[in-house]
Each structure stands twice: as C-alpha cells, then as structure tokens.
Copies of this chain bind each other. A is one copy, B any other.
Amino acid sequence: MKLSKKSEYGLRALLELTLFYGKATLQRHQIAERQHIPVEFLEQILLALKRAGLLSSRRGMKGGYALIKPPGEITLGQVIRILDGPLAPIGCVSKTAYQKCADCPYAEHAQCPVQHVMGTVRDAIAGILDHYTLDDFACGHHKG
C-alpha cells in the first residue's frame, strides 16, 4: 500500500510544470532544485512521462520540459500508473492490468473473499485518483 519515491517525485515535478503551463519550459535542474529531487533520478522520471505522452521536451540551450496537455486533463491516476504500475492492491482486481492469481484455492472471480474486498479498495483508490487532476493538485483541493 505504498507510493514510491518515483511517483512522489513525478507528481511534484508535474506540479511545477503545471504552474508554468503555457508560460515557459522548465529544465531538469530547475525542477530538481525547487522540489529537492536528485537531478539524475528526476531525469529518468521526466523521460518516462515524456514517453507516455504527457510531456514535450527540447534539447540544447534553452531546452527544457513542458506539459503537452492541459493540467485539467491529466489525472494523478494516470501518472501513478505510468510510474508505479497498476493502482490495484492485487493483480486479480486490476482493471488496467488484470492478472489471474496463480495459486488461489478459489474458483475464478467473485468467490474469493480477498478478491472481493480488494476490489472495493481498488475502486475507492481509483475513484479518487482518476478524478483528481493536476489542476486540482496545484490548487491543493479537489473540485469535488
């Protein structure tokens, strides 16, 4: 039930990029300084977000990173899935990356008590994170 440093840093980096959305690009070291993140680690995080289509980047002098989509269209759920993988506490209840349990003594679906509770937990987590956008995030509160 834990959020990795990678996701935490990723969210904090996106927060900075949200504040400058439409205004300027930010360089790795600027983001790193403002958010106290090791630069080289931040680099691979930004890169992953870029590959996932969330960021654009420019090389060379005056280079930097910027959000591609408006912050209101990016959810924390998306970001965490990119950096940490599925939100579900257990593979057999993931909607974006379902995986059958190897040795569960219960028949498929619905009869397994673990699967049942964890399904509701997954829905609760996704219900929050998939409706919480970078805009909400930057304001510090959900539009609810």
Contacts and interface: CB of A to CB of B under 8 A. Distances in A.
Contact of A34 (B15, B105, B111): B105
B120 A90 contact: no
Given A113-B137, A125-B124, A3 B118 contact: yes
Q: In the assembly, how many copies of this chain are there?
A: 2
A3 B86 CA distance: 12
A114 interface: yes
A15 B113 contact: yes
Contacts of A8: 90, 114
A59 interface: no
A105 to B, nearest CB: 5
Given A8-B114, A15-B113, A105-B35, A1 B141 contact: no
Contacts of A141: 116
17 contacts: A1-B1, A1-B84, A1-B88, A1-B89, A1-B125, A2-B90, A3-B118, A8-B114, A11-B113, A34-B105, A36-B103, A36-B104, A116-B140, A117-B142, A120-B142, A124-B128, A125-B125
